[in-house]
Structure 1
C-alpha cells in the first residue's frame, strides 16, 4: 500500500461518493403520464375535471400555484422480475400519491426545490415497490402543486417518471460511505481514528473503480470494520426526533399548507414501516384538525402511531403564534384550545411549548405556561441573533412574575438537521451548557415547507447510534429528553425577562391592516364574551359558545408567526383580510344582538338606550345615541340607562373648550401647533408643566428609505431620511364636546388626514389618522420628544409591562432599538410622565426622551404590494402627574381600545326574575387589578373571571359579583380547580388569577 497523503486519499474518497449515488437506481421503463390541471385543488372524486394533457419529460404542465391530478401508468418489464423495484417521479412540484380510496400514501418533492444545501438535499422522488413480478401493472394517482417546498416556481415541467431497479447493496454502501466520509472530515487532525477511517475509505474507493455486485460487497466489508467501532462513556448524549416544521402560511397560501400536511405526514407513516426506530413529532393542533377534516383515513393512521408511542404530538398552542403582538388573552386561548385538542383527540397532556421559529418571546409566557401545566419550552430562533450570542442552550427562563420554565435551544441551531456526523459534532462542540449538562436535542428532517425526514436521515442515524468519534444519538420523544434535562436543572442558570430576537423588528409593523384587525377582533371578542356573560348572569343563556370558539380559533390561526407579523406572500394577506373583515363584522353583529337582549332585561323600555362598560372601573364619558350626545357615568363592568343620563347640551363647556388657529384647549390641556402642523407644546394647565421638550416639536411625521424586507429594516434607517409629510391644509373647530384640528398632509403620491381631538373633559390628546399610503420601500414614523428625563421606558406587554432602557450604552441596548409595546409606552420621572398609546401599533423606539412609533412600512418582499393601501389608526398622548403607576396609565390604554357601547333595548321583556337585580357584574376594589376576561366556562355554564396585577406590586383585592347565591373557586388557565376562594385575593407582582363563579 503506497504512503499516499491523507489529503489526496480523502479527496479520492469524496470523488467516489457521487458515482455510488448515481449507481443506486437504473431506470428500465418510462411510465405514461397524464395530468388534469386546475387553478385550485379539486377533490379526488373530481380528479378528471381539469384540463387534460399527456406529458413526457421536459413538457410543461403548470404555472405557479396551479394544481393537477397526475396519473402514472406502466408495467414492470419481464427482464427485471424478482428484483427490488422503485418508481422515480419528479414533476418539478410537490406531489402526494394516493391509494384507491383517495387517501394520501406518500409525499414527493422536486429535487431542485429551494433549500439550504448545507443541510442536505430536499428532494423526495423514490417510490418503493418492493420485489416485483413480471408484468406487474403500475397505476397511481397523485395530487400535485406547481410549487416547490418554499412556494417558488422552479419550472413546472415533468422531469422524470420511470420504473427503475433499486440496487439495495449499493444503496446501503452509499450511506456507509457517506457517514464515514463525513466522520473523517469532523474528526480532529492526526488522530488514529481519523487516519484509520480515511485509510479504509481510500481502500474501499480503490475497489470501486468499477461498481458491480462484487466490488460493492468488498467495499462494504472494508467499511463495516469502522462502522462497528463503538464509543465510550458519553460526554453529551443527543436525543433525536424527526421533525417537519410546517409554516401554516408563508411563501404559500393556507390551502397549500393543508396539502403540505398530507404530503409530509403520509411520508412519515411510510418511513415508519421501514425504520422501526423512527420517532417523529409534529406540533400545531390546527394542522391535525385539517388532517381530520380533509384526510380522515390518514388521520386515523396518525392516531394509531400516536397511541403506539412512535409519533409525538408536540406543543401546547393551537398554532405556533407570534408572541410579541398576540394579546394576553389570545395567548391563553392558544394554550387552552391547543391543550384541549390534544387531550380530547389523543389523550395526551402537553408539557412542552414548541416554538422553534417565532420572532422573540414575551416575558409573560413563563407564567402562562406554568399556570397551564406546561413545564418546558423548546426554540432555536435565538441563534439568529446578529450582535450578541444568547448565553445558554439549556436554562431556566423566568418571566416578569417570577414563574420559571425549563428552556432548551438545540445547539445545532436548526430544526432542519440533516442528522449527519457534522450535526452531532456541532452539537457537542457548540453546546454552551455542556459543562453542566449531558443531554442535547436534535430535530432532523426538512421543515418550513414541510416534507420531514427522508430515508437519508434515518439511514445516517442507524449508523451513528454509538459510533466511535461521535456523541451517541438516540431517537426518542422531546418529552423524554426534557425529563432527562430536568434532572440537571439545579446547575442551570436563570435568564429573566423577554427573550429578544435581534432580527425581524420590522414584523412589529409590516402589514398594518392585519395588525389593526387583530387588535380590534381581540377587543371585540372580549366585549362579546362579557356581554354574553352579563346576559347569562341575568338568567338568560344565549351564550354563542360554538360560534365564539370557531371565531377564536380562526383568529388564532392568523396569529401564526408568518401571518400576523406580516411576512407572507400577497395572497395570504388578501385572504386573511377578507376573513378578518367577515369575522369582525359577525362579532359586532353578535355583540349588538347580545347587548340588545341585555338592554331589554334592564327595564329600559323598547327602543331605549343602555350604555355598557366592560372595564372594571367607573367611566364618565360622552356617548352618542340616535344623533344625541349624553354625558354618562357607567359603573364598573356594568351598565346604565340613558334615561338616567344627562343629555349633553351645546355651550356646557364653551368657556374652557377652544379650537382656534394653531390652538386646542380644554380645562386641563393647551395644545399649540407650529406652521408645519407639528406640535410645539402640550401644556398641562393643572400642574403648570410642559410635556414637549424645549425647542422640539411633537407629532412629526418622518419618512425613511427602507430597503429591507418584511422581516427587517436597515439599522441605520435614521441616516436615510427621505423627507417629511408636508402640511397642505388645516381647519380648527369645536364639534360638540370636542375641540378638533384636522390636518391634511402629503408626501409623494401618499396622503395623510389626521383629526387631533381634545375632549371637553379629556386629559389625553387623541390622533385619529387615515393614510392613503402609496410609497414603495419607505417607512413612516411619528415622534414625540417629551420633557421627561429617565433611563427606562415602560412598555405594556401581555399581563404586565417591561422596563426597557432608553440609553444606548451597550451593544445589547443598541440592537434593541425597536421594541414591542401593546396599548401604551411611557416615559416617567417620579413626579411626572408622558404616555403614548395606540389602538393597533406595536413597533416603538424610545431613545433618551424621544418616543417614536413605527406607523407603516412598504417592503417589496415577499409581498411586493405590502401596505400600499388605505389605513386607519388612532394614537394618543397622555401627560400625567406622578409616574405611570400612580397615573394608572394602563387604564387609559384600555379606555382607548375599549369604548363604551350603547345597546338598544329590543323589547320591554323583563328578565327571568323581573328586571336585572344588579348594575355591575364584577367589582374589584384595587385600582391595580385588571379584569382581563369574563367568559363562560368551557365545560359548564359557570362563569370564568380572569384577573391580573398590573403594576408589579403585591396587591390585595376583594372581588364581588352582581350574581347572588354563588360560590367561588380558583382555577388554573385550563379551568382545572385549584381550591376554594372567598373572593379576597392577594396578587404577587403581575400575577394572573382565574376564578370560577359557580351558581349555588
Structure 2
C-alpha cells in the first residue's frame, strides 16, 4: 500500500496541475488590450485612466524597473455564456510564486473605483455572477513593474538610478473566461485531502481511506472533459471529507493577514500601493466570505492609505465598523525593537494606539510583531505602560542554534513586568492554509497537554497580497476534519482570550528574546542608524526646550511639527529600515529624512532658546550644568571647559602620554592605547601587554542574507590595523590638547582624534570606507574579571554572560546595546559609551598570569552587497568614550552626554529648570507638554541603576494637580509610591528599572498653549 500511496500522490499532482486546475477557466475569449506608460513616478488614478493608449497583446514585453503602466482590457461577454459565472483573467507576466515580490496590479472600473489587486496567486476579476450575456467589459489596471530583486547576489535593481529601463515582464493571459465553480471546488477538495494523506503517518487506516477515495475520484474524471465529470469526482470524496475531527484535535485559529513591509525591497511610495492593492482585495473577499476575519497592524499603513487612497480607506473603515477588518498591533509600524531608544519605543505605542483610538474607537491590547528580529528585554514594561498585555511574534523560529522551548509563555522584562506571549507553531507569518502547514503547527506545538490552541497568520505577505479565496475554502474543509487540526477564523483578541483562558499558568521566559540570526542588522547601514540616534536625541531636546519656552514665556508649543516629526522617525524604525536590510533607494530616502528632521528640530531648539534669552540674546552655546544635564535646560555664557585640562607629553619610546589628573593614557608609536591608568583609584584598565583602540578587520561573507547576517566564523580571520600613517599632537579648545592618528588599509582610510576630558578617554573615529564584504570593529581589552556585563536597553540595562557555558550563550556572539556597555568587579568598573553604534561582542580569556582579560569590541561598519551593493560606502564618523572607574550611574550619564547635540545658539543667562531630581539614579527620559493641548506638563522618569530608588522631584513652576499616567498620558491606578511633600515637590519610590509617567496640571493663571 505504501508504494500505491506514492503512486497516487504522483498521479494527483500531475492531474491537478495539467488537467483539473486549467479547467477552472477552460472556456475563454481574448480581451483587447491597450497601454500607457507613465513617465517617472506614479500618477493619480484619474490621470492614468484618461491617458491615451496604444494597443498591446499577450506576449508583449512591458515594464521597466519601478515603472507604472496603465493597462486597459475590454471585451464583451458572449451571449451563450448567459447564466454562467464570468471572470477576467489578467496575467501581467507573473512568476507562479513570489506574490508581492514582482509585478502587481490594481484593477479599476471605468469610473475609477477600485476593484481588487492582482498578484500571481490572485489574477482573476469577477465580471458577472451570473452573466446575462452581452455585457461590456472595461477594466483598467495600474500595473507596477517592480523588479524581482534576486536573492542573494548584488543587483543594481534596488536603486532607480542604476536599475536601467529594459522591460522586465511579458504579458500573459488576457481573457474573459467562464469560472467553473464545481471544478474549483474539486481542486480544493483534492488539495486538502492530498496534503492530509501525505501528513498523517501515525494514522494508516485514515491515510489509506483517503488514498483510495482520491484514487476513485481520479478514476471518475474524464481527462478530456474535466468540467463534465467534476461532480462525479467530488462525490467520491464526500465521505472522507465528512469524517469529523477527534475531540482532542489541536485548534488552529486562522487570522487573515498580509504582512506588508513598510519598506524593504521596495521604497515607501510602492508600499502605499501595496497597501491599496491588498486592502482592496481583502475588502472584496470579506464581502464574499462571511466567516472570514482579516487583521492589519501598523497604524502608519492605515494613515498612508487614508491620505493617499481615501476611497479604499472608506471601505476599510466600513469593514472595521462591522468587526470584519480588525486593527491590531498598537504600534506606528512593526518596528525593530532592539535599537530604538527608550522614548522612541514608547512613542511607537503612543502614536499607534492613539491612531486606532481616534480613528476607530479601538483600544488595542495585542502587540503584533511577527517579523521583528528579536526583542529587547526592556520591552515588556513599555508594552504594559501602553495599556497592552499580549504579544505575538514568529521570527524566533528562525533561530539557527537553539530551538525556543515554548509557543505560549509569559515573557518577563528587566523590571519584572510579564506579558502573555504567543509564538505560532505554524512557523510562518505567511500561512497559505496548506495541510502540511496546519499539520506542522499541531506536531510542532510545544505546550501539548497544557494548551491546545495556536494561531496561524494566513495570507501572502512581506510584499502584501493577503488571504485568497482558496485559503478560505481549504480552511472550511479543515474546520472539523478527521486527521487534521480544527481550523477556525478569528481575530487576534479572540485568540488570546482563548489561549489565556485555557493556559492559566504558562511558563516564564526572563530576559531578551534573542534571535540567533540576522545579527548583522545591528551594524549594516551605519548612516541610517546614526541618523536615527541623532533624531531621537534631537526630539528629546526639542520637546524639553519648547516646553521650557512655553512655561517661561508663553511661547506657542509646536504640537503639529513635533507630532509630524516623531512619525517620520518612527516610520524609519521599521524592522527592515533601521536594521539596514533594505534596498539602496530606501536608505537614501531614510538618510535624507533624518537630515531634514535634524534641520527642523535644530530650528525648534534654537527658536526656543532665543525666546528664553529675549531679543538681546547672543550666539552662545548650550552648556548643561553637570548635575542637571539629563533633564534640565540650562544656559551659560560660552562653550564648556574641562575641569581638568589634558596635558600631552612625548613618550621616551615614541608615542604620547595624556594626563588630565584623573586618568593617564599612554599611546604607543602606532597610535594604540597601551595604558589607561585610573589615577584616582590607582588602577590600570588594560591587561599587561594589551593594546586598546585597536581597529580590527574581518572577512564578512555570511552563508546567506548578506545585509542581515554575521556568521560566527567571521572571527576565524582577523587583521589588526596597527600601522599608522601619521601620529601628531595639536592644541584643542575643549581638552587642552589632542592626539591625532591616521591609518590606511585596503581602499579605506581612518583618522582618529583622542582626547581626555573629565576622566574619560574620548575617541573620535572618522572612516572613509570603501571595502566590500568586510567587518570593522574597535577593540578594548580590559583587565576585569566578570562573568557578566551590563548593556543598555530601553529604560534600563540588561546583563549578558561573558562566557559560553551553554549553547544559548555561545549563539549570542553579536548583541545589541544602546549608549553604553559596563563591566565591573566589586568596587570598580569600566564603561564604553557611544553616539550611534549598536552591535558589539564581549569575550573573555584567562592569561598565563591567571588574570582575566575581558575584551569589548564595538562593531563599526560592514560592507554587504545585498540588497544594496554599495552599503556603507563613503565617510562615517563615530564617537566613543572609555571611562575607567565608572559605575552604572556614570555610564548612564555619559551615555546621554555623548549623544547630546550642541545647538549653535543659546540663552544669555541660565534658565530655571522645569524639574530638578535629587537622585542621579532616576533619569528623565521626556519632558514635554501633554499631547491633548491642555497645557499640562508631562515628565517621564525611570530608575536607571537597577536598584530601589527614592527621589524628590521638584517642579520649577506652579501646579495644582498631579496624576500618574500611562504612556498615552491617561490616568492609571497607582502602582508606585508617590506623595507630595508640601510645596517642595513629589517624592517617588521606584522599583528597579521602573518607568513612571507624571502629569502636572499647571495653575490656571499659567494657561494652556
Under a length normalisation based on structure 2, what TM-score does the superposition of the two structures give?
0.91
Deviations 1:751-770 (A, max 9, x none): 111111113xx211111121
Where 2:26 maps in the other structure, the secondary structure is: strand
- Can you list the C-alpha shifts for 1:580-631, whole angstroms capped at 9, x where unaligned? 1111111111111111111229xxx443747453x89246xxxxxxxxxxxx
In structure 2, the residue matched to 1:632 is none
Instruction: Please name the residue that 2:107 is paired with.
Output: 97
- Distance in 2, matches of 1:654 and 1:242, equals 64
CA displacement, residues 111-165 of structure 1 (integer Å, 9 cap, x when unaligned): 3xxxxxxxxxx45345453222332111111111102687998942211211111
Q: Say if 2:1 is the partner of 1:21.
A: no
1:989 and 2:999 matched = no
1:570 to 578, 584, 588: 584
Structure 2: unaligned runs, 5 residues or longer: 94-102, 152-156, 158-166, 845-853, 981-985, 1004-1009
Distance change >3 Å, CA 518–CA 201, structure 1 → 2: same
Larger deviation, residues 961-970 vs 401-410: 961-970
- Superposed, 1:255-654 pairs within 5 Å as 255-600=269-614, 605-607=616-618, 609=620, 611=622, 613=624, 617-618=627-628, 637-642=632-637
CA distance in 2, matches of 1:654, 1:593: 33
Structure 2 vs 1, CA of residues 100 and 53 (structure 1 numbering), >3 Å: closer, same or farther?
closer
Correspondence 1:3-42 to 2 at 5 A: 5-18=4-17, 19-38=19-38, 39-42=40-43
Single out whichever of 389-398 and 296-305 deviates more from structure 2: 296-305
1:206 to 209, 219, 227: 219
- State how 1:671-710 maps to structure 2 within 5 Å: 671-708=665-702, 709-710=706-707
Does the Cα contact within 8 Å between 1:795 and 1:821 map onto a contact in 2?
Answer: yes
Report the RMSD for the aligned CA atoms in angstroms. 2.3
CA distance 1:976–1:156, shift in 2 (3 Å): same
What is the correspondence of 1:725-874 to structure 2 with a 5 Å cutoff? 726-738=723-735, 739-759=737-757, 762-848=758-844, 849-874=854-879
Contact kept? 1:237, 1:440, Cα under 8 Å:
yes
8 Å contact from structure 2 (residues 610, 617) kept in 1: no
Q: CA deviation at 1:83?
A: 2.0
CA distance in 2, matches of 1:341, 1:737: 46
Deviation, structure 1 residue 962 = 0.7
Offset at residue 820 of structure 1 (A): 0.7
Q: Find 1:107's aligned residue among 104, 110, 117.
A: 117
Matches of 1:697 and 1:606 in 2, distance apart? 48
Q: What residue number does 2:81 align with?
A: 80
- Cα distance change of structure 1 residues 706 and 213 upon mapping to structure 2, 3 Å threshold: closer
Q: Mark the CA change 1:9 to 1:688 in structure 2 (over 3 Å): closer, same or farther.
A: closer
Shift of 1:900: 5.9
* Residue of structure 1 equivalent to 2:935: 941
- Pair 1:859–1:230, CA change in 2 (3 A): same
C-alpha deviation, 1:896, in angstroms: 1.1
Deviation at 1:437, TM superposition (A): 0.6
- Give 1:624's aligned residue: none
1:783–1:212 CA distance, 2 compared to 1 (3 A): closer
2:200 is aligned, of 187, 191, 199, to 187
State the secondary structure of the residue aligned to 1:996.
strand
Could you tell which deviates more after superposition, 525-534 or 683-692? 683-692
C-alpha change, 1:164 and 1:959, in structure 2 (3 Å) is: same
Further displaced range: 338-347 or 184-193? 184-193
Distance 2:722 2:747 in 1: 11
Shift of 1:491: 2.5
Counterpart secondary structure, 1:716:
helix
C-alpha contact (below 8 Å) 1:278/1:458 kept by paired residues: yes
Alpha-carbon distance, 1:431 to partner: 0.4
Contact 1:612 1:902 in 2 (8 A): no
- Distance in 1, matches of 2:145 and 2:873, equals 28
Q: CA deviation at 1:227?
A: 1.4
Q: Is the 8 A contact 2:49 2:140 kept in 1?
A: no
Task: Provide, for residues 838-887 of structure 1, a one-character-per-residue CA deviation record: whole Å limited to 9, x for no partner.
Answer: 00000010111001011000100000000011111211110016xx23x5
Does the C-alpha gap of structure 1 residues 29 and 648 become closer, same or farther in structure 2, counting only changes over 3 Å?
closer
Question: 1:36–1:49: 8 Å Cα contact kept in structure 2?
Answer: no
| Distance change in 2, residues 1:298/1:195 (3 Å) | same
Contact 2:476-2:487 at 8 Å conserved across structures: no
| Shift, 1:27, TM fit | 4.7
Partner of residue 197 from structure 1, selected from 210, 220, 237: 210
Question: Residue in 1 aligned with 2:847?
Answer: none
Contact 1:599 1:609 in 2 (8 A): no
- Cα distance 1:889–1:8, how it changes in 2: closer, same or farther (>3 A)? closer
- Residues in 1 aligned to 2:609 and 2:503: alpha-carbon distance in whole angstroms: 51
- Partner SS for 1:24: helix
Residue equivalent to 2:849: none
- CA drift of 1:35 comes to 1.4
Q: Would the aligned equivalents of 1:94 and 1:148 in 2 still touch at CA under 8 Å?
A: no
Instruction: Give the Cα separation in 2 of the matches to 1:583 and 1:100.
Output: 41
- The answer to whether the Cα contact below 8 Å between 2:5 and 2:211 also exists between their aligned partners in 1 is yes
Structure 1: how far apart are the matches of 2:56 and 2:465?
25
Relative distance call for 1:737 and 1:568 in structure 2 (3 A) is closer
| Alpha-carbon shift at residue 186 of structure 1 (Å) | 1.6
The match for 2:920 among 915, 919, 927 is: 927
Q: Give a deviation string over 1:723-768, Cα, whole Å, max 9, x none.
A: 5263101211232342201111111111111111113xx2111111
Report the CA distance between 1:194 and its aligned residue. Answer: 1.6
Deviation at 1:102, TM superposition (A): 2.7
Alignment match, 1:623: none
CA displacement 1:773-822 (0-9 Å, x = unmatched): 01111111110101111111111111000111111222111110111111
CA distance in structure 2 between the aligned counterparts of 1:478 and 1:3, rounded to whole angstroms: 41
Deviates more, 1:385-394 or 1:429-438: 429-438
Tell me how many residue pairs correspond in the alignment: 951
Compute the TM-score of the two structures, normalised by the length of structure 1.
Answer: 0.92
Query: CA 1:340–1:150 in 2, change beyond 3 Å: closer, same or farther?
Result: farther
